[in-house]
């Protein structure tokens, strides 16, 4: 008689991939251990995962001094290499920041468990019970830049969704990430889960990234988080399925009929509230019928916010004699994700021309329309093909936190699997359970 | 004032991809036209799409002679090349088969439109209305083998879901596919939609497939349908996102406690009801405690169904002196998708050993357990990581039609985007609509 036990069988690779590769590559050997851990944590109930998450939060607080010391190695190295203070600031961990990271982990523990959710379920005409349920993806690889808080965030979200995570941070944060992952692994193990549920990709070289991108069959998905060039490399070179994230060339379009005060507010908030993030606006498009009334106010407000305008001929004409710094826009400006106090700006002859411009230049992240016309709002939302279309709202709302997801692993700008802010459900797949009483066809 | 018109703006490429490539490659130029058509059909209401589908069905029936004549060119060529009659049969179109294809198109017209469905919607604490709605993927590329009915099926499903389709059939069906696509395009155009919503990839050479796989930014997803080697090539070489389909190394596991009659029925149905399809069983695993009682009956039933067994030592011992043809199983047998009257068979010491075997060898399609034990059923469904787990039911139920989806574009064996039988919703992505009254952060 079969006696089910509490321990799952050892995880093995799909489709008969041999362990030969793993024997010769430390990266693949690590991925193989992630795969084994993934099989062990996939069926765990919420309580087991939450216990581990709370252990992580406690350990981060208890071992803050260790984290700060390891972080100092990275920041010292960065300073010696002449890295800019902005980048060093993003790299720096303080006691306060570690406490905030620990608090985020507790927030993740408080979120509902996506695994096991019945997405679809019914009884078929022949009496079979069909259920589609959420299951973990398996092994999630994250390739990310500078900020070491991503190490903990990503590990927490993957653990909560029953996935093993394989982390490949920036070499500039290697010491911080090594210390953080050691603490996370200790905590996970103390909670009775396999430490290998959280692993760092070994090695600081580019080769280790390349091997990770070729670990098809061992890694289920790669999520690059960072600048456009990192994401482009991963998308082009990976044979592991990729979820593209984050590049944001977002547009604000002010329609022929618009509340001018609202339009200025939304423009300035979208551009200047936090220019360094992907959901900030990079291009302003204005309908010609409202350009004379709107542009002088908009350009003044942009000047007050410290924004430089890269305008087309009509925008430059409107800027003349005003206080805003205005330069001629090139194709590079229309394509740019500035992430700075710069904005491209142009006048369009119609809403459809605005849509055509957006479809040509957008990265597909977020586009906003400001309008009082119901017909224009409807047409713009229908025709714009981006993760998010905002009507009379700032582009800055495209965010897992703002959307009420409670957490975010990134913002997908692709169409497959997940589009827009990704929360815990986006870190799952599904499987069908077919239950019969001896049913055959 | 903005006056919305009925004509959408011309479709353009995402992210500023130039039309330079399209100028030098017929495949990319075709993909560019698909992209333009995709932008035009994406916002169309259901009635417009259904009118086109019904026009397609009518045209297929009206022009059956033309289809059969074109098909004869392909079958003559195949016969001259010494192609097997089984393959020629799959390639052949008769008046009856064309009528059946037309009827399938009418069935697709009768299905609900997935586009516009609100997947998630709520009002955020700040008063913003958030809606996540289904939208078409855009341009769907299908690479498929022999059977020309796939040409029409795929075109109908893509049109219904608001996608432009780019078809790359087998060169052995080139004449049939060319005739079919010409008829589909005429019908679509007669219904007022752009003919380029349905296109054939130009050229019969392998190079055209390669170019299609590199058309990232023009093609949104590639779905290979066919044998394992086709799928492997596309998965490995494509920079366009791929949905892997169809390879099925499905397992039937007979647990320690099982109804023997039910187990034999499910085994024979899973293996022999239609061995050439992906959801037929390729491996039998039997718990050692029930092997003595079950194997003699199972092997006899397999012999009666004309199935050759590739067994491990314990199965071969049980087969000795019986009527079944039994050969020793190698690793190739455990990995095989026979698609024939062959089955690999082994005895396992526990349910967990069965799971370990399955995880090692499965293509992740469908695995069945036959058991009277609730605990065993629960553990098996939790631990097996495939698109579908069947409890006391044949593996043959993993099918869009059987699941009640009304149509199927293929069966995804990957974890991202779609897993298991894919119907119309799986041919969509989503976008978020954020509606405010001037909301800023």
Kind of pairing between the strands at A118-123 and A129-136: antiparallel
Q: CA of A376: how far to CAs of A255, A366, A372, in Å?
A: 8, 17, 8
From the list B269, B298, B285, B297, the residue with the least C-alpha distance to B394 is: B269
Minimal Cβ distance to A257: which of B1, B396, B404: B1
Q: Which residue has the higher pLDDT, A17 or B175?
A: B175
Minimal Cβ distance to A241: which of B266, B360, B416: B416
Average pLDDT, chain B: 92
Whether residue B4 is predicted with pLDDT greater than 70 in this model: the reply is no
| Residues of A with Cβ-Cβ distance to B386 under 8 angstroms | 431
- To the nearest 10°, the Cα dihedral for A86, A90, A92, A94? 120
Mutant choice from A272, A359, A387, A421 vs B, greatest count of B C-beta within 10 A = A359
- Rounded-to-integer distance, Cα A311 and Cα A283, Å: 9
Q: CA of A203: how far to CAs of A110, A196, A222, B435, in Å?
A: 34, 17, 18, 46
Share of chain A above pLDDT 70, in %: 95
Average pLDDT score over residue span B246-267: 96
CA atoms within 13 A on the CB side of B277: 16
Q: What is the pLDDT of residue B23?
A: 67
Contact B359 A9 (CB under 8 A): yes
Could you read off the pLDDT of A211-227 as tens digits, one per residue?
A: 999 998 899 999 998 87
Share of chain B above pLDDT 70, in %: 95
Q: What is the pLDDT of residue B121?
A: 95
Whether residue A257 is predicted with pLDDT greater than 70 in this model: the reply is yes
Contact A355 B273 (CB under 8 A): no
Q: Which residue of A has its CA nearest to B413?
A: A431
Contact B440 A266 (CB under 8 A): yes
Minimal Cβ distance to B128: which of A124, A261, A393: A393
Q: What is the pLDDT of residue A23?
A: 66
| Residues of A with Cβ-Cβ distance to B359 under 8 angstroms | 9, 11-14, 39
From the list B374, B147, B337, the residue with the least C-alpha distance to B258 is: B374
Could you read off the pLDDT of A267-281 as tens digits, one per residue?
A: 999 999 999 899 999
Average pLDDT, chain A: 92
Contact B415 A359 (CB under 8 A): no
CA distance A440 to chain B (A): 5
Share of chain B above pLDDT 90, in %: 83
Whether residue A10 is predicted with pLDDT greater than 50 in this model: the reply is no
Whether residue A160 is predicted with pLDDT greater than 90 in this model: the reply is yes
Q: What is the pLDDT of residue A21?
A: 62
- Contact present, B152 and B56 (Cβ < 8 Å): yes
Q: Which residue of A has its CA nearest to B259?
A: A438
Average pLDDT score over residue span B414-421: 95
Could you read off the pLDDT of A379-393 as tens digits, one per residue?
A: 999 999 999 999 999
Backbone angle region of A127, left / alpha / beta, with phi > 0 → left and psi within -120 to 50 → alpha:
left
Cβ-based contacts under 8 A for chains A and B: 307
Strand partners, A252: A284, A368
Domains (ranges, CATH) in chain A?
24-244+418-435 (3.40.605.10), 250-402 (3.40.309.10)
| Residues of A with Cβ-Cβ distance to B437 under 8 angstroms | 392
| Residues of B with Cβ-Cβ distance to A273 under 8 angstroms | 440-441
Could you read off the pLDDT of A33-81 as tens digits, one per residue?
A: 999 999 999 999 999 999 999 999 999 999 999 999 999 999 999 999 9
Q: Which residue's structure tokens are 């034990």?
A: B373
- Three-state SS string across chain B, please? CCCCCCCCCCCCCHHHCCCHHHHHCHHHHHHHHHHHHHHHHCCCCHHHHHHHHHHHHHHHHHCHHHHHHHHHHHHHHHHHCCCCHHHHHHHCCCHHHHHHHHHHHHHHHHCCCCCCCEEEEEECCCCCEEEEEEEECCEEEEEECCCCHHHHHHHHHHHHCCCEEEEECCHHHHHHHHHHHHHHHHHHHHCCCCHHHEEECCCCCHHHHHHHHCCECCECEEEEECCHHHHHHHHHHCCCCECCECCCCEEEEECCCCCHHHHHHHHHHHHHCCCCCCCCEEEEEEEHHHHHHHHHHHHHHHHHCCCEEEECHHHHHHHCCCCCCEEECCHHHHHCCCCCCEEEEEEECCHHHHHHHHHHHCCCCEEEEECCCHHHHHHHHHHCCCCEEEEEECHHHCCCCCCCCCCCCEEECCCCCCCEEECCHHHEEEEEEEEEEEECC
Contact A394 B429 (CB under 8 A): no
- In angstroms, what is the C-alpha Rg of chain A? 25
How many degrees, rounded to 5, is the angle at CA A262 between CA A258 and CA A268?
A: 120
Q: What is the pLDDT of residue A13?
A: 37
Q: Which residue of A has its CA nearest to B363?
A: A15
- Rounded-to-integer distance, Cα A300 and Cα A290, Å: 16
CA distance A432 to chain B (A): 5
Contact B4 A137 (CB under 8 A): no
| Residues of B with Cβ-Cβ distance to A391 under 8 angstroms | 433-436
Grade residue B94 by pLDDT with cuts at 50, 70 and 90: very high
Q: What is the pLDDT of residue B115?
A: 97
CA distance A270 to chain B (A): 8
- Rounded-to-integer distance, Cα B170 and Cα B280, Å: 24
Minimal Cβ distance to A124: which of B42, B132, B404: B404
Residue B205 burial (C-beta neighbours within 10 Å; 0-12, 13-18, 19+)? exposed
Whether residue B87 is predicted with pLDDT greater than 90 in this model: the reply is no
Contact A397 B239 (CB under 8 A): no
- Rounded-to-integer distance, Cα A89 and Cα B124, Å: 32
| Ranges A215-229, A417-431, B6-20, most confident | A417-431
Q: What is the pLDDT of residue A109?
A: 97
Q: Which residue of B has its CA nearest to A259?
A: B438
Lowest-confidence segment of A170-174, B265-269, B351-355 by average pLDDT: A170-174
Could you read off the pLDDT of A100-136 as tens digits, one per residue?
A: 999 999 999 999 999 999 999 999 999 999 999 999 9
Minimal Cβ distance to B390: which of A273, A377, A434: A434
Average pLDDT score over residue span A247-270: 97
Rounded to two decimals, what is the model's pTM?
A: 0.90
Contact B269 A235 (CB under 8 A): no
Report residue A283 as tokens.
């291009």
Whether residue B204 is predicted with pLDDT greater than 80 in this model: the reply is no
Whether residue A7 is predicted with pLDDT greater than 50 in this model: the reply is no
- In angstroms, what is the C-alpha Rg of chain B? 25
Could you read off the pLDDT of B134-177 as tens digits, one per residue?
A: 999 999 999 998 689 999 999 999 999 999 999 999 989 999 99
């Amino acid at each position: 008689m079969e006696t089910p036990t509490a321990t799952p069988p050892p995880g093995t690779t799909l489709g008969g991939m041999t362990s030969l590769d793993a024997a010769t590559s430390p990266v693949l050997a690590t991925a193989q251990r992630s795969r084994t851990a993934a099989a062990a944590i996939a069926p765990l109930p919420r309580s087991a995962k939450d216990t581990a998450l709370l252990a992580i939060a406690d350990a981060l607080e208890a071992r803050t001094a260790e984290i700060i010391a390891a972080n100092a190695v990275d920041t010292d190295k960065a300073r010696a290499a002449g890295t800019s203070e902005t980048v060093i600031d993003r790299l720096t961990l303080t006691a306060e920041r570690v406490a905030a990271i620990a608090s985020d982990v507790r927030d993740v523990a408080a979120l509902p468990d996506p695994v096991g959710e019945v997405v679809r379920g019914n009884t078929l005409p022949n009496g079979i019970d069909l259920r589609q349920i959420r299951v973990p993806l398996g092994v999630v690889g994250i390739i990310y830049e500078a900020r070491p808080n991503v190490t903990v965030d990503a590990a927490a979200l993957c653990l909560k969704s029953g996935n093993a995570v394989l982390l490949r941070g920036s070499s500039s944060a290697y010491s911080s990430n090594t210390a953080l992952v050691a603490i996370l692994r200790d905590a996970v193990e103390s909670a009775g889960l396999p430490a290998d549920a959280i692993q760092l990709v070994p090695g600081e070289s580019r080769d280790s990234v390349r091997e990770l991108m070729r670990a098809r069959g061992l890694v289920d998905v790669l999520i690059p988080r960072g600048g456009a060039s990192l994401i482009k490399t991963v998308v082009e070179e990976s044979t592991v399925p990729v979820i593209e994230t984050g590049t944001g060339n977002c547009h604000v379009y002010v329609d022929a009929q618009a509340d001018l005060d609202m339009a200025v507010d939304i423009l300035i908030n979208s551009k200047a509230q936090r220019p360094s993030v992907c959901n900030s606006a990079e291009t302003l498009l204005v309908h010609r019928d409202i350009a004379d009334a709107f542009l002088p106010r908009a350009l003044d407000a942009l000047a007050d916010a410290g924004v430089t305008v890269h305008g087309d001929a009509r925008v430059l004409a409107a800027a003349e004699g005003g206080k805003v710094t205005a330069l001629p826009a090139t194709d590079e400006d229309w394509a740019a994700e500035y992430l700075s106090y710069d904005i491209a700006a142009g006048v369009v002859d119609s809403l459809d021309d605005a849509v055509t411009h957006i479809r040509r230049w957008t990265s597909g992240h977020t586009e906003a329309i400001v309008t009082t016309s119901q017909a224009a709002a409807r047409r713009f939302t229908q025709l714009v093909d981006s993760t998010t279309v905002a009507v009379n709202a700032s582009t800055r709302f495209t965010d897992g936190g703002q959307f009420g997801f409670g957490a975010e692993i990134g913002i997908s700008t692709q169409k497959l699997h997940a589009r827009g802010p990704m929360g815990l459900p986006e870190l799952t797949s599904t499987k069908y359970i077919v239950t019969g009483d001896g049913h055959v066809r």
